[in-house]
Amino acid sequence: MNVRLPILIVFIAFLYFSFVRPSPCLGRHFSKDSLSPLAKNEKGFSAKEDSKVAPIPAIEKYEREKLAKLKRNIGRRFMTAPTSDPATFYESPDDLGRKLRVKREKEGFVIREVVQNRLGTMNFYQVKFDSGETGYLSADGNNLEIRIKQGSLISLPKTASPKKKSLSRAKALVSQAVELVRNHPTLTDPLTGRKRSVEVRMIEETERSSPNLKWKYEGKKIGKNKYRVTQYAREGGGPSLIRTWIVDLSTKEVYPENLAAKELYR
């Protein structure tokens, strides 16, 4: 009895350690190889996420070029025209259900800016009508060019700013003063009996004795309706001969001012 009990205990312990083994996941240390699949999976997942977020250069370039093309239309003026398929304007780029009602069949407007909706999926021209209202016209799919070809939109010349109008008028008045000097009669032609203009005298001088003679005119306003016109005449590389006239546009009168100009009338 005393001998069998220890033998039985040893046998039971042998059986226990033979069938029960420690789980590999209970160890405190992980091998490098065991972590490799996990690291690879995490790396692969990160790469996939980055590929989704990172923009594609080709698409970025296309969007930049398209936006630049649309912005070239900023400042252009158009007029709506009555057709069976009129152009559609919206009150907001984010609510295409709210269409802007154009009050007149023929309404002028100017393109002010290129904008996108909040989602950034659509482009619009922000336009301002002559009536003062602001609307939005679809800019995608060459909508503007299609509407022009269909005749629902008519392209108009740009309206010059007050400053440009003023400069244009000033240049026109200077040109008028210069023309009065060019055509102002001086001496009488002994052969024809007609008075020769300032410009004709310059041409005769070139043909007669000064083949390299060059000249030009400049005008400047010096008072109300009064201008000083200056002629610079030079032959070769020598100094310029300066002649000046005073022109009164209100009376169309021309007065030689300096001695060099007066010599043409003697």
119-145 tens-digit pLDDT: 989 999 999 999 899 999 999 999 999
Q: Structural domain of residue 178, as residue ranges?
A: 163-265
What is the tens place of the pLDDT at every residue in 189-208?
777 778 889 999 999 889 98
Give residue 7's pLDDT.
67
Across the range 241-261, mean pLDDT stands at 96
Residue 231, in any domain of the structure: yes
pLDDT at 248 over 70: yes
Across the range 92-117, mean pLDDT stands at 92
Same domain, 101 and 195: no
Same domain, 127 and 171: no
Across the range 249-263, mean pLDDT stands at 95
Give residue 98's pLDDT.
92
Average pLDDT, the chain: 83
Residue 2, in any domain of the structure: no
Same domain, 145 and 222: no
Residue 35, in any domain of the structure: no
Last residue of a domain, one of 124, 156, 188: 156
Residue 45, in any domain of the structure: no
Same domain, 213 and 255: yes
Same domain, 151 and 192: no
**Residue positions counted in the chain:** 266
Total domains in the chain come to: 2
Residue 13, in any domain of the structure: no
Per-residue pLDDT band for 160 (boundaries 50, 70, 90) equals low
Integer Cα distance of 203 and 186 in angstroms? 13
Last residue of a domain, one of 112, 134, 156: 156
What is the tens place of the pLDDT at every residue in 15-65?
665 555 554 444 444 444 544 444 445 545 444 444 455 557 878 888 889
Integer Cα distance of 114 and 122 in angstroms? 11
Same domain, 96 and 168: no
Last residue of a domain, one of 100, 130, 156: 156
